[in-house]
Amino acid sequence: MNPSTSSPFCIDLREHAVHLLITAAPMAHMAAHEARIVVNAMKPLHLLPDTLLFEEGDAAGSDYMALVLEGQVRVVSAASVPGAEVVISVVGPGSLIGEMGVIDGAPRSASCTTLTEVKLGILSRAALLELVGTRPVVAARLMLGLCKGMADRLRDSNRRLRTLSQVSRALQSELDAVHAVNHRLLNAQGS
């Protein structure tokens, strides 16, 4: 996937992107003219169904994020079983994907594949840094919105981890009880 080879946004899609960006980052209180500045820094990308946008572990070219304008993208992570994967979410218009990559440029933490025909707005790290230098208030609002989205997902992951931990403890208690019963039965048979 090469986000730098696309043509400019059409006017209708640009205004749609402005609306979606404001909706995607409500905590940032971004005004329409500020969202338009961010959208102008984005490159449009059109993908067909079943296209891999990026893969978990990718390090090269991971320094961009995307605003989903149209279509659906499946976000998955590798499972502990080789060849298996865990669907993290299916996202649609107004969703941001790859935000961590635009911030730190580290390898991707999940894979994203298009489920349908998809239109995206791609914001590169270079474009974000240019916004920081030329439009610091807009960049700060955008970063606040990105941080809010990541904080929400981290809180959700913490809730899921707590639930998984509770289920794990309950299963361990059940296994311990079965083991104790089996141990008593074996001891009773041996007597």
Confidence at 4, pLDDT banded by 50, 70, 90? very low
pLDDT at 2: 46
Amino acid at 165: S
* HSE toward the beta carbon, residue 152, CA cutoff 13 A: 12
Averaged pLDDT for residues 26-33: 82
Contact 111, 55 (CB under 8 A): yes
Residue 146: count other Cβ atoms within 10 Å of its Cβ: 22
In CATH, the architecture of 3-159 is Sandwich (2.60)
Q: How confident is the model at residue 60 (pLDDT cuts 50, 70, 90)?
A: confident
Q: Are 113 and 53 in contact (CB under 8 A)?
A: yes
Task: Identify the burial level of 134 via C-beta atoms within 10 angstroms of its C-beta, where 0-12 means exposed, 13-18 middle and 19 or more buried.
Answer: exposed
- The answer to whether residues 67 and 20 touch, using CB atoms and an 8 Å cutoff, is yes
Question: What does the alpha-carbon distance between residue 116 and residue 98 come to, in Å, rounded to a whole number?
Answer: 18
Which of 4-8, 61-65, 185-189 comes out lowest in average pLDDT? 4-8
90 phi, psi to nearest 5 deg: -120, 120
Mean pLDDT of 145-153: 85
pTM: 0.77
Band (pLDDT 50/70/90 cuts) for residue 6 is very low
pLDDT band of 81, cuts 50, 70, 90: low
User: How much is the pLDDT for 5?
Assistant: 41
Query: What percentage of the chain has pLDDT greater than the value 70?
Result: 92
Q: Which of 54-68, 70-84, 164-178 has the highest mean pLDDT?
A: 54-68
* The pLDDT of residue 187 is above 60: yes
Q: What is the pLDDT of residues 90-124, one digit of tens each?
A: 999 999 999 988 888 889 999 999 999 999 999 99
Q: Residue 185 burial (CB < 10 Å; 0-12/13-18/19+)?
A: exposed
Name every residue whose Cβ is closer than 8 Å to that of residue 126 and which is 6 or more positions away in sequence: 63
* Percentage, residues of the chain above pLDDT 90: 45
Task: Return mean pLDDT, the chain.
Answer: 87
